[in-house]
């Protein structure tokens, strides 16, 4: 016999016995009757259990996957660095993993620059003692290479440093003419057309190198550091930061206005978007060049008289003890476009370190990797 059918018949028979008169009266509880204390215990416990499971899952996944990639507000996701083979690599700025390897067409890369929008990189390919060509590399959001071209023309001297505008439309080149090469001291190149504008330092400053070029937010003003003119008494007044309006028809670099004086111990200048302050790297080294500490400092840019020394405010500091068991001698430092994130490459120790708003870490995957110049 079908048991399911018997159960259905019994239920139907019981239903037929129920009449209106057989139902007891319905007594509703008072409207403001207090609910039992444990009424919400089960739902709340269920919600807390779900939250705990989700949190545990995220934690376990994060532990298995490793640290999350840096977001846009946490600094550049990648940086560029030269390596021992003469080429340049794109490296993950959190783990140090190589993302892309960019080999030179000939010679070796002697200077690097990355635009603030992270889409364009410029690499100076030194093809001879006094011969340089500039490669333009288009990068994807993840740091992989989308394309590479060589800018028209070349330069009969060596490039020391480069700086790209925020959108990568132009690149400034600072040359090293102290090795017998001859040419401009600073050149600005249009990345699309290859058009070139050049400036020179007049004697007796012609033997003083131009250092730390960097663009202002307007993409028109170029800051650079160079030796200050000697005083009438023949005293050395140190280095100063100048601001060059690249629209000027003048080709004399010393006609650029002085923005800061006494900048001998500073490098990697990063002017703020509003033009009121500049962030820089301050390196404290021993007499033989051994690193003692590296600090990120901020200085106000005077609007009037720049003859007074600007007050320095320290934002963060990294000591040699934090960096390596032995203080590095051959090292490079650079700030990102915001000035908040510092990268230190210690070539002797084959390691790269970073400091973000005072937080310090070592990039794990770069152990035993010999890197040289760095840019981000």
Helices (H), 160-306: none
Question: What is the separation, in whole angstroms, between the first and last Cα of the chain?
Answer: 82
Burial 302-323 (b: 16+ CB within 10 A, else e): eeeebeeebeeeeebbbebeeb
**pLDDT of 8-62, one tens digit each?**
555 555 544 554 455 555 555 555 544 454 554 445 455 455 444 444 443 333 3
**Dihedrals φ, ψ of 49, to 5°?**
-65, -45
Task: Please state, as a whole number, how many other Cβ atoms lie within 10 Å of the Cβ of residue 368.
Answer: 7
Q: Which residues of the chain have pLDDT under 70?
A: 1-73, 205-206, 229-237, 304-309, 324-327, 367-368
What is the topology classification, in CATH, of domain 78-375? Neuraminidase (2.120.10)
Instruction: Delimit the domains of the chain by residue range.
Output: 78-375
Report which of 77, 111, 109, 112 is spatially closest to residue 91, judged by C-alpha positions.
77
Residue in this structure with the two tokens 């550049």, named with its chain if needed? 76
Contacts with 294 (C-beta within 8 Å, 6 or more apart), sequence order: 281, 282, 283, 284, 317, 318, 333, 342, 344, 355
**pLDDT of 175-219, one tens digit each?**
987 777 888 999 999 999 999 999 998 877 667 789 999 999 999
Contacts with 38 (C-beta within 8 Å, 6 or more apart), sequence order: none
């Amino acid at each position: 016999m079908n048991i399911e059918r018997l159960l259905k018949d019994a239920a139907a028979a019981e239903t037929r016995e129920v009449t209106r008169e057989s139902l007891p009266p319905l007594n509703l509880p008072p409207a403001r009757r207090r609910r039992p204390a444990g009424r919400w215990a089960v739902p709340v416990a269920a919600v807390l259990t779900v939250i705990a499971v989700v949190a545990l899952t995220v934690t376990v996944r994060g532990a298995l996957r490793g640290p999350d990639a840096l977001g846009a507000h946490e600094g550049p996701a990648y940086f560029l660095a030269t390596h021992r083979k003469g080429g340049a690599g794109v490296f993950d700025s959190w783990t140090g993993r190589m993302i892309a390897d960019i080999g030179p067409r000939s010679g070796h890369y002697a200077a690097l620059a990355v635009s603030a929008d992270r889409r364009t990189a410029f690499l100076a390919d030194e093809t001879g003692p006094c011969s340089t060509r500039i490669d333009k590399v288009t990068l994807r959001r993840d740091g992989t290479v989308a394309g590479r071209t060589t800018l028209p023309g070349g330069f009969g001297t060596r490039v020391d440093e480069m700086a790209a505008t925020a959108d990568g439309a132009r690149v400034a080149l600072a040359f090293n003419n102290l090795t017998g090469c001859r040419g401009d001291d600073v050149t600005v190149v249009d990345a699309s057309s290859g058009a070139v504008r050049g400036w020179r330092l007049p004697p007796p400053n012609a033997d003083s190198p131009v250092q730390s070029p960097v663009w202002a937010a307007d993409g028109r003003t170029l800051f650079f550091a160079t030796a200050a003119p000697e005083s009438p008494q023949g005293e050395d007044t140190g280095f100063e930061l100048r601001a060059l309006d690249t629209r000027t028809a003048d080709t004399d670099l010393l006609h650029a206005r002085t923005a800061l004086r006494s900048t001998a111990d500073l490098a990697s200048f990063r002017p703020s978007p509003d033009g009121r302050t500049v962030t820089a790297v301050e390196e404290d080294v021993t007499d033989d060049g051994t690193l003692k500490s590296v600090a990120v400092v901020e200085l106000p840019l005077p609007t009037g008289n720049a003859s007074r020394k600007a007050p320095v405010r320290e934002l963060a500091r990294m000591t040699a003890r934090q960096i390596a068991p032995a203080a590095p001698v051959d090292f490079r430092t650079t700030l990102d476009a915001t000035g908040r994130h510092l990268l230190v490459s210690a070539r002797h120790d084959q390691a790269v370190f970073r400091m973000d708003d005072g937080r310090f870490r070592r990039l794990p995957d770069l152990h035993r990797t010999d890197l040289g110049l760095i840019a981000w």
